Structure 1
């Protein structure tokens, strides 16, 4: 899959997804929002997918909202924010929370700048690996806005409330090492793409069903009451074991004497 603003390349079960507005530091206009959303929905249907590496073309992840572009079409802003029910995710929120809803691990590779909406998207990933020179900021308050792209879902899992308030209210620009100290980053690496590939290759060596269950279980149970956590863990484990038992039974049946005799008779 490849198009103007989002490019996807797949190798050995890993999807390499890039934001492709390098001349604008991958700033988010309405079209880019739409293409990210379409990309996530397409990847969700890919049964062969094992991991996603998300990055920005031109050595910059994303500089945030392209305010001039959105202001030129007020109707685009309406389409970004529209939702039928308050608890649903609108388009602006789906480009962040959508990565959390994929049943595979998502790794964001951060270089250059990762500001505002870019930071919200990165917070939707399961892992964030940044280059040492990367600059990061939850920048919306600088423009008199509230961060409204669902990044708080990830942020509240990563840091205490007072630190999240401070970073959001001050809109401070952080170095990669500072962001790592706030737990916004998984790692800081001289070559973040190479590190992301190594991590993705490690992750795809384990069971995709187990990884999907682990991701869902941790996300849903992280701040849930203990009884819900225990119930969810048991449910996922039973499903996984039931699936393995079906596979084992099928293998045993295929190796039964009757099956072997029929296979020989048919010339297999």
Structure 2
């Protein structure tokens, strides 16, 4: 069995591609879930990587769960209700906790359909850029199931509860233009320009010190569920760490001397 994820290192940016085009990069196998979790664990420890671009191979970004497996009650959809619950808890639900909580910024380059768990996967990323042919759907209800991978928590935090409710309760598909209008994506470009556009954002992110990037992303994540006073305390603690990094000193010196900064990750 070939690896689900392919990787390409581009300076301080890592391009990661979901690589199972025959299934439209469906998320349905335990080994796929494990690859994503292990990637996040590795990225957490490698401070030389400052940003990730996540995209799909073929015509789709990610088609979500494999409907064929659902119809046959096979794979992760096999077994009793209790076994199915554990399949979700020990399987696909490991992805949102690993990817959403990853300190390295992730840019989703959405090259085609992002359906069900595929849409939720984009919401685990920090920035979303779509090709003009991309389609999006929170389509679980059309299959008589519910968002099982955290979509009911993720999607409202990206586009707001009213629009998330509309998508989740109708299961209807929206196009890239609507996704842009609703704030689901920040940019829509022709498919041929998607990788360049995503890399441009990733490189602009990666131009900054790795410590500051990781601490900033963590504050943004924690700020979604903390009180302001609690977040201010956390921000003060993080700021005290940031002020004592060599990259902070270099950034200030470069600003004063009007020259490009040279960051070392220290």
TM-score (norm 1): 0.82
Would the aligned equivalents of 1:97 and 1:150 in 2 still touch at CA under 8 Å? no
Would the aligned equivalents of 2:64 and 2:118 in 1 still touch at CA under 8 Å? yes
Q: Which residue of 1 aligns with 2:140?
A: 140
SS at match of 1:130: strand
Q: Which residue of 2 aligns with 1:26?
A: 25
SS at match of 2:244: helix
Q: Which residue of 1 aligns with 2:88?
A: 81
The one-character-per-residue Cα deviations of 1:82-126 (angstroms, maximum 9, x if unpaired) are 3xxxxxxx4312323422222211001112211001011111000
The one-character-per-residue Cα deviations of 1:182-207 (angstroms, maximum 9, x if unpaired) are 21112111222110101111111111
- Mapped to 2, the partners of 1:189 and 1:80 lie a distance apart of 37
Q: Which residue of 2 aligns with 1:50?
A: 50
Shift of 1:42: 2.4
Which is worse superposed, 61-70 or 212-221?
A: 61-70
- Mapped to 2, the partners of 1:178 and 1:14 lie a distance apart of 29
Specify which of 199, 223, 226 is matched with residue 224 of structure 1.
226
SS at match of 2:17: strand
Would the aligned equivalents of 2:209 and 2:247 in 1 still touch at CA under 8 Å? no
Q: Which residue of 2 aligns with 1:262?
A: none
- Mapped to 1, the partners of 2:154 and 2:5 lie a distance apart of 23
Would the aligned equivalents of 1:96 and 1:151 in 2 still touch at CA under 8 Å? no
Q: Which residue of 1 aligns with 2:243?
A: 241
- Mapped to 2, the partners of 1:197 and 1:247 lie a distance apart of 27
The one-character-per-residue Cα deviations of 1:127-167 (angstroms, maximum 9, x if unpaired) are 11001111110111111111121234432322332221111
Would the aligned equivalents of 1:97 and 1:124 in 2 still touch at CA under 8 Å? no
Q: Which residue of 1 aligns with 2:91?
A: 91
Would the aligned equivalents of 1:54 and 1:106 in 2 still touch at CA under 8 Å? yes
- Mapped to 2, the partners of 1:25 and 1:179 lie a distance apart of 20
Instruction: Return 5+ residue gaps in structure 1 as ranges.
Output: 83-89, 249-268
Q: Which residue of 1 aligns with 2:185?
A: 185
Distance 1:152 1:98, change over 3 A: farther
Q: Which has the higher contact order (CA 8 A, sep 6+)?
A: 2
After TM superposition, the structure 1 = structure 2 runs for residues 106-121 of structure 1, keeping only pairs within 5 Å, are 106-121=106-121
Would the aligned equivalents of 2:88 and 2:148 in 1 still touch at CA under 8 Å? no
Q: What is the aligned length?
A: 240
Q: Which residue of 2 aligns with 1:259?
A: none
The one-character-per-residue Cα deviations of 1:37-88 (angstroms, maximum 9, x if unpaired) are 2222222222311110101111310111013236223158455323xxxxxx
Which is worse superposed, 70-79 or 216-225?
A: 70-79
Instruction: Return 5+ residue gaps in structure 2 as ranges.
Output: 251-266
SS at match of 2:61: coil
Q: Which residue of 2 aligns with 1:86?
A: none
